[in-house]
Amino acid sequence: MIYILLTLLIFAFTSCEKDDLGTPGIEKLPTSSPYGITRISDDSLLFVLQAPLKDNVYLIGDFTGWEKLPEYKMNKDGEKFWIRIGGLDPAKEYVCQYLIDNKIRIADPYAKKVSDPNNDSYISSSVYPGLISYPFGKTTEIAMTVSTKKDNYSWKVKNFSVPDTEKLFIYELLIRDFTEEGTIKAATKKLDYLKNLGVNAIELMPFNEFEGNSSWGYNPSFYFATDKAYGTDNDYKEFIDECHSRGMAVIMDIVLNHSFGQSPMVRMYRNSDYSVSYENPWYNVSSNFENPDAQWGYDFNHESSYTKEFVDSVCSYWIREYKVDGYRFDFTKGFSNTYFPNSGNTSWGSPYDEARIVNLKRIYDFIKSRKSDALMICEHLSDNSEEKVLANYGMLLWGNLNYSFNEATMGWNESGKSDFSWLSYKKRDWSRPNLVGYMESHDEERIMFKNLAYGNASGSYSVKNLPTALQRTGAAAVMMMSVPGPKMIWQFGELGYDYELNDDRLGKKPVRWDYYDDPDRKQLYDIYSKMASLKTNDPIFSTTNYTLDLSGKIKHIKLNTAVKDAVVIANFDVVAQNADITMSRETSWKDHFSDNAFTGDRLQIRLEPGEFRLYFSE
């Protein structure tokens, strides 16, 4: 409704103009006009660029013959430059740019589609049919593609309710490496597989325009455009729509700690040595981290009102236009200007930072104002005192337990190295179960690779044996999924994906859907599927009454409710072990994964290495 009223308002201001191309007959832009390109009618567009301290801007493009024409000099209204053009063909796309102060050529920071001279030619027509060609010889640098054509996607699911936080089973997915085609359309065809697995939320690694065609996406350049290397904007919308029709939320991984050099907001205010100019309203001149391992690209200044306005526009846009259900924010530890020098374990900014808290709370409140059940997940990985505040406020936080889980699956349990009790939000003294616990994400070396490469052994029993390594990973999966709170797995983790990450960290990885046909790997898939069903349907896995004993080789979890209780136990040693556990009540108990059962209030059992049980009271 707001955008309809805005369009009418803009049209009222411009209705006295002729419908052909030309300079608007007014000087003041309506204050409510959004930045970027707004469709006014079937043949006209409004362009609004925010460019503080700039003197003049021309719109150049297909409709000007790529010449700087006087009638396309944009009106200046304070920090804004704007122009309305008409006479456009709604069946046609146009490529255009802003020419700033006669030297800087950029696409609009709010562009919904860009034309890239270096990468578009490598995108096949099967991925993006009818992709308009870049105007080589007429201009340089990335341009924007515009049209007056209306959005023609018809949503099947207009309103979607996000699953309860504590029941989330999230699947992290890199579109490039999920299918052989590496497209969002191909990923859509795999949704029934994920539905059968029990997934109720998909977290897509960044899919807004990033530099190049093959990337993890953490080198963003345009924040309002889908990356064409994965497909068309309607392909993305169809993916989200089909997820919603299957009861699965869609979480967009987004990078607002930094941008890379193609960003027009960087290029507008950049020195000759490519460093950020002090005039830049959005970016810091330097990163607030001395540690080079915590610096990427150009650092956003989250204390700036310009950045706050931009971040809010990004967060609003994807919820409104693509119906995403929330965001996973990359490296939220960088969301302030507090300087953290390199000092051992605090080199990534572990000390408590109130400024960061304030900035993240503001973003969270804004997102909730746009969608009340939207998710905000922070990759924070900071001091617990800070994460506790964010979690208790309502945000979800990534909980990386890769090291401890992998020590357990490999069979190295000495000195508490395999204690993954930090998976529990109660262990962290949080009041809400807002820890997204995981054994793997895109960032960690694969559990199964390390099992097969570095696994422990005793006699004929060896973790380096594939079926053995898979069984132990299954035991870890049962333990992980049993601890209350949301959980996440990395793509193909349910099949024991075992290709090394760090041989070519950012490079494309083999796609192995054939793993599903391997009985041992399918058994791991079935374990995940059964645990997902329990987690999302049985209230006991959301209980607040639970205890953990995860420090030794024999690990167990006790879950209690007024209706029934559960006990999870596993042996992560490489030799058989005896277990003796006092149960919560004297009753009959049955293992969910076998016919094993007993009656009493004490479990005395000998578990083979890698063996696990999940007992429910009857």
Whether residue 23 lies inside any domain: the answer is: yes
Q: What band does 31 get if pLDDT is binned at 50, 70 and 90?
A: low
How many whole angstroms from its chain centre is CA 192?
21
Predicted pLDDT at 602 = 97
- Among 482, 513, 541, give the residue marking a domain's end: 541
| Averaged pLDDT, 362-370 | 98
Q: Could you give the percent of the chain with pLDDT greater than 90?
A: 90
Q: 103 and 211, same structural domain?
A: no
Whether residue 217 lies inside any domain: the answer is: yes
Instruction: Return the SS3 of 329.
Output: strand
Poorest-pLDDT segment among 129-133, 334-338, 532-536:
334-338
Whether residue 95 lies inside any domain: the answer is: yes
Whether residue 158 lies inside any domain: the answer is: no
Q: 385 and 269, same structural domain?
A: yes
Predicted pLDDT at 184 = 98
| Averaged pLDDT, 194-213 | 98
pLDDT at 13 over 60: no
Give the Cα separation of 596 and 606 in Å (integer).
12
pLDDT at 10 over 60: no
Half-sphere exposure of 245 (CA within 13 A, CB side): 12
Q: 86 and 11, same structural domain?
A: yes
Q: What band does 15 get if pLDDT is binned at 50, 70 and 90?
A: very low
pLDDT at 12 over 70: no
Are 390 and 360 within 8 A, CB to CB? yes
- Among 541, 560, 586, give the residue marking a domain's end: 541
Q: What band does 25 get if pLDDT is binned at 50, 70 and 90?
A: very low
Predicted pLDDT at 329 = 98
Structure tokens at 513: 């859907």
pLDDT at 510 over 50: yes
Predicted pLDDT at 615 = 98
Q: 609 and 461, same structural domain?
A: no
| Averaged pLDDT, 353-369 | 97
Q: pLDDT tens digit string along 516-561?
A: 999 999 999 999 999 999 999 999 999 999 999 999 999 999 999 9
Could you tell me the CATH number of the domain that includes residue 470? 3.20.20.80
Predicted pLDDT at 342 = 59
Could you tell me the CATH number of the domain that includes residue 45? 2.60.40.10
Structure tokens at 217: 């996406």
User: What's the mean per-residue pLDDT of the chain?
Assistant: 93
Q: pLDDT tens digit string along 212-252?
A: 999 999 999 999 999 999 999 999 999 999 999 999 999 99
Whether residue 312 lies inside any domain: the answer is: yes
Domain count, the chain: 3
Query: Can you give the residue range of the structural domain that contains 6?
Result: 2-146
Give residue for tokens 């005896």.
Answer: 578
Q: 591 and 521, same structural domain?
A: no
* Dihedral angle computed from the Cα positions of residues 414, 416, 417 and 418, in that order, rounded to the nearest 10 degrees: 100
Whether residue 220 lies inside any domain: the answer is: yes
Q: Bridge-partner residues for 322, per DSSP?
A: none
Give the Cα separation of 456 and 573 in Å (integer).
9
Predicted pLDDT at 82 = 97
Predicted pLDDT at 27 = 61
| Averaged pLDDT, 286-307 | 88
Predicted pLDDT at 346 = 45
Q: 55 and 119, same structural domain?
A: yes
Burial of 45 (0-12, 13-18, 19+ CB in 10 A): buried
Q: 244 and 120, same structural domain?
A: no
Q: Could you give the percent of the chain with pLDDT greater than 70?
A: 94
Give residue for tokens 């960061």.
Answer: 356
395 secondary structure, DSSP code: -
Instruction: Return the SS3 of 237.
Output: helix
Whether residue 355 lies inside any domain: the answer is: yes
Predicted pLDDT at 2 = 42
Q: 416 and 315, same structural domain?
A: yes
Predicted pLDDT at 154 = 97
Q: 250 and 218, same structural domain?
A: yes
Predicted pLDDT at 348 = 52
Predicted pLDDT at 339 = 82
Predicted pLDDT at 340 = 74
Q: pLDDT tens digit string along 374-430?
A: 999 999 988 999 999 999 999 999 999 999 999 999 999 999 999 999 999 999 999
Whether residue 153 lies inside any domain: the answer is: no
Q: 137 and 170, same structural domain?
A: no
Q: 568 and 502, same structural domain?
A: no
Higher pLDDT, 286 or 255: 255
Q: 461 and 364, same structural domain?
A: yes
Q: What band does 16 get if pLDDT is binned at 50, 70 and 90?
A: very low
